[in-house]
Structure 1
C-alpha cells in the first residue's frame, strides 16, 4: 500500500489524521477498551492524532513504514518513556528499562545466552520439564492450563538461564511474579498512579512480593557463585564492574518478562486450537508423519512447518506485547511530517495484525497465511510479535523454541477442549496480553485410535 500522501488539486493531504470526538470521550474509550479503541482507528490513516495535551501530544502509528522509522531508522530520536519509568519501580535497572549506552551494553552482555547454539542446548531442559509436568495430567480432569503454562515456563527460565531449580518455593515465587505483574499493569495504565509510599493494600502486597523476588534472585547469585555452569547468570557474574543490585534487577526482569509472555501465548494457542478442530487435525497429521510415537528434538523443529505456522498465527491474533510506546527525545519527522519533542507514539501489534490491508480475513485463525509462499505478501513491519529494532525481544528465538516444543509434547499425549464452566473468552491487556480470568480446559488422552 502506498503512503496516504497525496496532492489533490494543489492541496496537500497530511498523513496525520485527527481523531473525531471529545478528548475525554476518547480517553475513557481507551481506558475501558484499549484493544477495541486501537482497532477502531485503523481505518483513519497512517498516523492518528488522539488530541491529547499540547505539551505531550499523542499519536497512533498504523503504517509499517512509520513504525520502521520509529523503531529502526530513527530509533535514537526516541526513548521508551513512561512505560520504562513505571517498570523501573519493579525491575530496577534491568534490560527492559534502561536507555541509551547502558541498554546497549546490557543487551550485548546478554546476547550470548540467546545464540542459536545455546538455544539448542536449552531444548533438552524444556523437553524434560514439559514431560514431567504433563506426566501429572490425567484423562478427564479439568485444569487451569494458564497456571500450568506459567509454572512450566517459570521452571524452564530459571533452570536454563540461572541454573536454579524450584523446589518447595515454586508456588511462592510464582505468586510473587503474578502479583508483581498485576500491580505493574495497573500502574502503567492508570492516568495518575498513587505514590508507592502510601500504605494501600496493593502497595503493601507489592512490597511483600518484591521481597520474595529479591530474596530469590540473591539466592540464585549465591548458588551460581559456587558453581561453574555456563548460564546467563554465570556470564553476567564474570562481567567487570557489574554490581549485585544490577544482577538482581536483571534476574527479576527475566523472571517476569521471560516466562509470562510465553505462557500467555501458549494459552491463546490452545484456545484457538480448541475452536478450530480442522487446524488441529491437520497439525496432528504432521506430528504423526514427522515424529510418530517418539518425542521431539530440537532438530525436528525445522521439519514441523505447520507447527511453526500455528505458533506464528497465534502470535498474530494475540501478540503478548500488545502495545509499544515511544516518546520523542527531540523534534523529529515521521513520513515527512514534523513532530515536536516529547510527542508520544503508540504502536499496537494487536490492531496492526488485524489490518485488512495487510492480512486477508484478519479475524480468522489461518495458520496457512504463514506458509513459505504466502508469508512473502506480509509487509516487513506489519507483523511485530516481538517488536523490532534494538529493543526487540532478546529472547524471541528462545521463546519460540520453548513454546513449540511444549505444544508438540502436549499434543502427542492429550487433546484440550474448553471446560463447560469456562467463562466467555476475553482478552485482557495487562503487561502482556492474557485471557481474562484464566483458561480452564478439559483434558482428553490421545488414544492410539486417534492417531490413525
Structure 2
C-alpha cells in the first residue's frame, strides 16, 4: 500500500519536472523573440548570475546591450523578463500594478521568515496593513522622531570616540556601527524598544539574526519553488516539521533567524500591550514615549473596526518586518556613502562645511536638515548609483500587454513596441539599471557626481516619468508597493551623517572594500570573503 501511494506521488512529480524542462523547447512563448543573454544551465538558467554575489558584471552586460527589456532564463529554463524601460515600469509599478503582484516565491519566503506582515501578503491584506501604517511615516511624524534620532546619533559618536586611543585615528569597522545604530533607531523609533546602548558592547541575537538574513537567503536560491508550495501545504506544525527535515545548513540557519525574530517581536509586543492598558502615562515612560510606530499602530488597531483590525499574528509579523526592512538597507546605504566619502575627500570636506554652518554647535532642526542641498545631493546620488536593493521581482497574474518607450528589435529583426507577457511570467524590475540608464541620465550615468543634483533636473529625466516615489529614481519603488519607510530612512541617514562628519574625518585603510550583490548589497574585505565588514580610518576632528 505504501509503495502504491509513493508511486502515485512520485510519478506525477517526476512528469511535472520533466515537462517544465522540455516545455520551453516544445511550446512557443510570446517571449521567445526577445533578445537576451544565453543560459548556462537547464536547471538554474541565468539565476546564479542574477542572484550571485558577483552579479554586477551581469547587470552591466544587460545595461550595455542597448535594450531596456531583455529575456533571461529562470529556473527550469522558464523565460523571465528583465525590465528597466520607464514606460514599461510605469505599467508594472503603477498603471497595471494589480496585474503584477510580488512574485509568489518572494511572498512565500517573507511569510515563512517574518509571518503575514506587510511583506508576506498581497492585495487586500497588504492594502489594509499599509493603510494603518501610512500615518506613522508622515513628514509631521518624522519631525517628532528627530530628537530620538539625534539622541541615538550622539550615543554613536560617544561609542566611536571611545574606540579611538590616539588623536591620529585608527581603523574601525563602520559597517558594524552602522548596523548597530540602524537597529537601535528602528528599535526606538519603530518599536519603542532599546536594543543596544551603543556605548557598551552587547550581544544582540536579534540584530545578528537580521545581519545574516540576506547572505543566508542568497545561498538558498534552489529552494524557492519549495518555499512557494510549502506555505500552502497543511497546518503550521506539519510545515515546520518539513522544514526540520531539510539537511541544508543554510535552510536551518534561515529557520533559526525566523525563530529569533518571532520570539523577540512577541516579547516586545506583550510589553507594549501592558503599557497601553496602563494608560498614557505608562506609555510616556516607555522608550520613545509612546510616539514610536508600534505604539501608534496598537492604539489605531484597538480603535479600528473589526474588519480593519490586524490579528495577533499580523502584529508580530509587522514588528519583524519593519525592523528587517529598516536595518540592512539603511545601514548599508550609510556605509556606502561613508565609503565614497573616503574616496572623494573633497566631497567629504564640502559636505562637512555645509553641515557645520547649518549646525552652529546645535542639532540641526528637521526642516533645515532635510533641505541642506549638498547633503541631499550626496544621499540622492548614492541612492541613484548604488541602490541597496538592485532589483525586485513581480509575477504576471494574467496575460497582459506591456508597452515600451522605444521599440526594440526582436531576434527575427521585427521591431516591437509592446510585449505580450504570458500569465505566470516573472518580471525583474531592474532598479539599478533604470537608475543608470544613459538615455535618462546622460553619458555620465555610471559616475558618482553629487553635483548633478544641484542644478535643475535634466529634461530627459522629467520626460522619462520614472514611476519612483523618490527623486525620479526607482530606488524606493513606487505605487502601492513603494517603500513605506523611505522618509524614515532619509532622516536616519542625514542625522547620522550630520553628527559623524562634524566629529570625525574618514579616510581609506588601503584594504579593498568589495561590495557584494545580494537582495541588499553588502561590503566585505576582498572579493572572496564572506564576512560583512567595512573598515575605515577614523580620526577625531580638533578645533
Correspondence for 1:36 = 57
| Residue number among 240, 250, 253 corresponding to 1:205 in the alignment | 253
Give the alignment's TM-score, normalised by structure 2: 0.74
Give yes or no for contact 1:419–1:440 (8 Å, CA) kept in 2.
yes
Taking the TM superposition and a 5 Å limit, the aligned residue runs for 1:219-258 are 219-227=267-275, 228=283, 229-238=290-299, 239=301, 240=306, 241-258=309-326
1:123 aligns with 2:146: yes
Contact 2:148–2:189 (Cα < 8 Å) also in 1: yes
The 8 Å contact of residues 187 and 193 in structure 1, kept in 2 or not, is answered as: no
Partner-residue secondary structure (3-state), 2:219: helix
> For residues 76 and 411 of structure 1, do their structure 2 counterparts lie closer, same or farther at Cα, with a shift above 3 Å needed?
same
Correspondence for 2:195 among 166, 169, 193: 166
Return 5+ residue gaps in structure 1 as ranges: 1-13
Deviations 1:360-418 (A, max 9, x none): 31222101112251355423316211111110100001100111111111000001112
The equivalent of 2:186 in structure 1 is: 157
- What TM-score do the two structures reach when normalised by structure 1? 0.89
Match of 1:443 in 2: 538
Supply the distance in 2 between the matched residues of 1:179 and 1:31 (Cα, whole angstroms): 16
Shift of 1:251: 0.5
Separation in 1 of the partners of 2:46 and 2:214? 26
Following TM superposition, by how much is the alpha carbon of 1:28 offset from its aligned partner in structure 2, in angstroms?
A: 5.1
Secondary structure of the residue aligned to 1:79 is coil
Task: Give me the whole-angstrom Cα distance separating, in 2, the residues matched to 1:303 and 1:53.
Answer: 46
- 8 Å CA contact 1:176, 1:212 repeated in 2: yes
Partner of 1:365: 448
Question: Post-superposition shift, 1:339?
Answer: 1.3
Distance 1:286 1:167 in 2: 30
Aligned pair in 2 of structure 1 residues 268, 347: CA closer, same or farther (>3 Å)?
Answer: same
Moved more, 17-26 or 208-217: 17-26
Could you say what secondary structure the match of 1:50 adopts? strand
Name the residue aligned to 2:487: 397
Which shows bigger deviation, 323-332 or 236-245?
Answer: 236-245
Q: Could you tell me whether the CA contact under 8 Å between 1:35 and 1:351 is conserved in 2?
A: no
Confirm or deny: 8 A CA contact 1:114 1:397 kept in the other structure. Answer: yes
1:177 is matched with 210
Aligned residues: 433
Indicate the residue corresponding to 2:3 in structure 1: none
Q: Tell me whether 164-173 or 317-326 shows the greater mean CA deviation.
A: 164-173
| Distance of 1:171 and 1:177 partners within structure 2 | 10
Counterparts of 1:276 and 1:18, CA distance in 2: 39
1:289 alignment partner in structure 2: 357
What corresponds to 1:384 in structure 2? 474
Out of 511, 518, 534, the position equivalent to 1:430 is 518
Alignment of 1:2-21 (within 5 A): 17-21=34-38
Q: Greater CA radius of gyration, 1 or 2? A: 2
SS at match of 2:215: helix
- Select 2:500's aligned residue among 404, 407, 410: 410
Aligned-residue CA RMSD in angstroms? 2.5
Pick one of 81, 84, 92 that aligns with 1:59. Answer: 81
